[in-house]
Amino acid sequence: MKKILVTGGAGFLGSHLCERLLSDGHDVLCVDNFFTGSKQNIAHLMGNPYFEVMRHDVTFPLYVEVDQIYNLACPASPIHYQFDPVQTTKTSVHGAINMLGLAKRVKARILQASTSEVYGDPEVHPQLESYWGRVNPIGIRSCYDEGKRCAETLFFDYWRQYQLEIKVMRIFNTYGPRMHPNDGRVVSNFIVQALKGDDITIYGDGSQTRSFCYVDDLIDGMVKLMNSPADFTGPVNIGNPGEFTMLQLAECVLSLVKSKSKIVFMPLPQDDPKQRQPDISLAKKELDWEPKVALIDGLQKAITYFEKVI
């Protein structure tokens, strides 16, 4: 049994990770400021004596004793991370400094939930870990993209300077139960709109692509990365290489929900990446990981969840 800290543990991915770590027999400390996460996401874990929750903002130092740290704290949806962009950068940068400092003091292994956003609007397709990205440093997505890039820098500097055991995971768009119904991300938006019979809002002409990974696959990759040999630091892409246009996604959701919603086209937000698809050869080779859940099956599970919550 390990003592494991999950920052952002009350969020969408964090709550699934806490659940998985508890079922693997670990002692889990969930730290969250509940900015986008909720107690509801972790309510079913509260009775477990090996689960503990602490309300704390990672931009402030944290003194606890743990063996491993998963650093997930950070709003992930564009509307949430653009709500208070200064706080978003602080969460990524000060949060990383604080969690790396903690890892250094207690000699814990630490994993960073980085993102495909470090590739920006990419000229290389699919994206390989060796690609340095094309990110606008002064746009409305920059608080998130550059914050996450700086966090990666900090992780690698702590590794070079202090020989910390680091793991950097570049997460591509992930979906599933416990996404916030109003968090503005495309999968939750389309499903909620289809279920309510509201218009399906496609931004731009819907030709932009994303690759969607079901949450269980993602968590499996995350745990495998954390427990990989010490000399494997990443960065490593974890995502589902199946690539879809937003128009295809909308049509797929409409047919699964059997909804009469109409598709409407709205302005494309600034700096919205045109295409995104992970090259996962490194994850396959180093972690023996690849996603198993097809989009249609994962969407069905997410639809069943949203039917209950809305």
| Residues assigned a catalytic role | 144
Question: 98 or 277, CB closer to ligand UDP?
Answer: 277
208 belongs to the binding site for ligand UDP (CB under 6 A): yes
**72 is an interface residue for ligand NAD by CB under 6 A:** yes
CA distances to 186, 188, 206 from 181, in Å? 10, 6, 21
- Termini Cα distance of the chain: 38
Answer for which of 38, 48, 201, 245 binds ligand UDP (CB under 6 A) is 201
Asked if 111 is part of the footprint of ligand NAD (rule: CB under 6 A), the reply reads no
Rounded Cα distance, 62 and 186, in Å: 34
Residue 76 touches ligand NAD, criterion: CB under 6 A = yes
The distance from CA 44 to its chain's CA centroid, rounded to whole angstroms, is 21
Task: Kindly tell me which residue out of 78, 95, 120, 235 binds ligand UDP, with binding defined by CB under 6 A.
Answer: 78
Q: Which stretch binds ligand UDP (CB under 6 A): 57-65, 184-192, 251-259, 289-297?
A: 184-192
Rounded to the nearest whole angstrom, what is the least distance from the CB of residue 123 to ligand NAD in the complex? 20
The count of other CB atoms within 10 Å of the CB of residue 190 is 26
Could you tell me if 152 and 166 are in contact, meaning their C-beta atoms sit under 8 angstroms apart? Answer: no
Stretch in the footprint of ligand NAD (CB under 6 A) among 46-54, 168-176, 259-267, 281-289: 168-176
Q: How many residues does the chain have?
A: 310
173 binds ligand UDP (CB under 6 A): yes
User: b/e for 14-37, b at 16 or more Cβ within 10 A?
Assistant: bbbbbbbbbeeebbbbbbbbebbb
Enumerate residues 24-43 that contact ligand NAD by CB under 6 A: 32-37
CB-nearer residue toward ligand NAD: 91 or 189: 91
Buried b (16+ CB within 10 A) or exposed e, 47-65: eeeebbbeebbbbeebeee
User: Is residue 174 at the binding interface for ligand UDP, with CB under 6 A as the rule?
Assistant: no
Q: Which residues neighbour 255 within 8 Å (Cβ) at sequence distance 6 or greater?
A: none
The yes or no reply on residue 277 touching ligand NAD (CB under 6 A) is: no
> Considering only CA atoms, which of 188, 140, 144, 149 is closest in space to residue 168?
149
Among the residue ranges 68-76, 103-111, 119-127, 296-304, the one whose residues contact ligand NAD (CB under 6 A) = 68-76
Tokens for 88? 């978003």
Collapsed DSSP state (helix, strand, coil) of residue 130: coil
Q: Candidates 6-14, 121-129, 274-282, 295-303 — which segment interacts with ligand NAD by CB under 6 A?
A: 6-14
Instruction: Spell out, one character per residue from 221 to 260, where the chain touches ligand UDP: x when CB under 6 A holds, - when not.
Output: -------------------------x--------------
Q: Where does this chain bind ligand NAD (CB under 6 A)?
A: 7-8, 10-14, 32-37, 57-59, 72-76, 91, 95, 113, 115, 171, 173-174
